[in-house]
Structure 1
């Protein structure tokens, strides 16, 4: 009988920019070995990245989909979503030891939670989400796949953030507000009311300045 490889405490990283180095540090603190690093443009990676292999975008048939679990270490939400579509891998989470996470919250595969972040009870966080440094996600929030909650952003209770939306640095979202999918909430914005899909919101109070075109 063929033995199934044991990849306990081993991980592969897809992406070799600055964001990937934060994830690698989290995983090393947590006792993981970084087996491989991949990038679709290995000649343009972060100056500190070493031994980067070509990613799957131009090498889909030969890419080693099987193996240790992967974290997609790409900061741009739409690119994380696209990469997850063509990879056929298992995924790992990256959760910094200093993050405070309620045991009643749920965190999807591939999601990363950085230093000092807080996730309160009954919150549901989707797949491949970034909860960045010092972000506060209060009780009963719903965060969609591929979203990014930036450093020091504060989401009050019963907030919803749709798929792929980016909540900028230092934003405040008051209770029971719903942010649609693929929205951009500018840095420091105070969100006082619901935001429709594909909208860009800035200011205090937050105002819609653009609705992005979409397919």
Structure 2
């Protein structure tokens, strides 16, 4: 082996230690996110981050190096969870041949998911999702499901996607209000609400139609 080969094969001073620090940092970040997901689901977004640090096994300084504020941590954890759920729910809805079953199944999945995660239902009831990107994605999925039902003649024609989003937000408030006292009570209100969306209801809806789209900034 030449001197040049020996030099190339020898790691620069500090490289192993740097790689070790990066690996430790990645493990700490993953532990924080995992613990936060459990704690936020159990206790909601108002939980003290010291509980998250305790469960993840890291110090407060380490937690704050990765997530300077609790809002940063909450958005990261819920954004990942919501996006993963929404992608799966959309895939399942697309695979269902009957448009009405696809729409109702999507609502049921959404509210059931929120019923198991206090912080997630808080974020959806307040803003339609944990992040703007999540809200836009959810709106697009609901719009697709609405159009399927409308084209099949199953949905009353004056229902807009914004109506469906508002309905889901209202039902999320029901989930939030009854999650401890009457878990699952939202299923009754969901059935009543969805029956009102069917095309056999021909009496015009009151008030002007709403067409708010979170993907637009105007």
Please state which band the TM-score falls in when normalised by the shorter chain.
Answer: under 0.3
TM-score using structure 2 length: 0.27
Write 1 or 2 for the structure with the bigger share of helix. 2
- Larger Rg: 1 or 2? 2
TM-score, length of structure 1 as denominator length = 0.27
Q: Which structure has greater strand proportion?
A: 1
